Amino acid sequence: MTHSTSGAAPAAVSGYSDPPASAVPPTGQPPKRAVSWWRRPWVLPLAVIAVAFVAFSLPPYLSFDPATSRVPEPGYRVHYPFLVAHVLFGSVALLSCGFQVWPWFRQRYPAAHRRIGRLYVFGGVLPAGVTGVVIGAISPFGPAVRVSNVLLALLWLVCTITGYRMARQRRFVDHRRWMIRSFALTASIITNRIYGAITAVVLWPQLATTFGGDEDELTRTIATIGAWSGWVVALLVAEWWLERGDMARRRAAAQRVDRPVRTHR
């Protein structure tokens, strides 16, 4: 739970067949070559962050011992098993999406891209999203966090399922757009922690004043700010990225239309 390149938005998170004919350059123009993998400077930091986050977050839940959970028990017996499933499947989604937004990998290994895309959808997002709805609805951090978590899980499912359906219908432009949104929501689990840490640093000195010494209230406030800002900001950045790419394409198209036609005598 979610991504920048220079001049182009990240590639689709999953694809299931060759690109449509409309994506082929017009006759007389050389085909567009895939950009070398090392010319995407965001790929390596993204992979390192994803692996480090999973390496830190996953181990406590591999013992299946509620005592090692980093989330307080809210008093519902279903919470811990659903939390473990959510963490496991969410880790699959987070690790697999790194390959899917890598343009060089998608263009160089299209078959692997499709297989990993299916893993991302069916072995990652779908089960993680469904379990996320359950644990989000009974979060121990209060009603504001519950609403945020449930909305995030539902949007994650909708964006991913819609992106998958677009690929099945060979609507690759729409597929790419929806999967960029899905990726932003996948990565929001990381930004959630970042914003939460920043909020804690800012608000902790106010424990005795603003919060009257109530550490539980401070914790709920930090969790609420982190929960909402984590996915809302990520989704807004994704929408900005998509709009930025659309505007660049519209300008390029307008320049081609306005370019004077040369006649030969």
**Could you please report the per-residue DSSP string of 74-97?**
-S-TTHHHHHHHHHHHHHHHHHHH
| Residue 167 pLDDT grade (very low, low, confident, very high; cuts 50, 70, 90) | very high
**Mean pLDDT of all residues in 89-110:** 86
Q: Does the pLDDT of residue 97 top 90, yes or no? A: no
pLDDT at position 145 = 96
| Residue 212 or residue 265, greater confidence | 212
Q: What number of CA atoms fall less than 13 Å from residue 137's CA on the CB side?
A: 9
pLDDT of residue 98: 80
| % residues pLDDT > 90 (the chain) | 63
Least confident of 54-58, 99-103, 146-150, 188-192: 99-103
DSSP letter string, 85-150: HHHHHHHHHHHHHHHHT-HHHHHH-HHHHHHHHHHHIIIIIHHHHHHHHHHHHT-TT-HHHHHHHH
Residues 100 and 120 sit within 8 Å (Cβ to Cβ): yes
209-228 pLDDT, tens per residue?
Answer: 999 999 999 999 999 999 99
40-81 per-position pLDDT tens digit:
666 778 888 999 999 999 999 999 999 999 998 998 999 999
Give Cα separations from 210 to 194, 222, 235 (angstroms). 22, 13, 31
Q: Apex CA 189: angle with CA 13 and CA 76, to 5°?
A: 120
Which pLDDT belongs to residue 180? 93
The per-residue pLDDT for 250 is: 64
Above 70 in pLDDT, residue 35? no
In the chain, % of residues over pLDDT 70: 76
> Pick the residue with more confidence: 246 or 92?
92
In this predicted structure, what is the pLDDT of residue 5? 37
Among 15-24, 89-98, 124-133, 159-168, the minimum mean pLDDT is found in 15-24
Is the pLDDT confidence value at 25 over 70?
Answer: no
Confidence of residue 256 (pLDDT cuts 50, 70, 90): low
pLDDT (tens digit per residue) in 4-14: 333 333 333 33
pLDDT at 109: 84
pLDDT at 172 over 60: yes
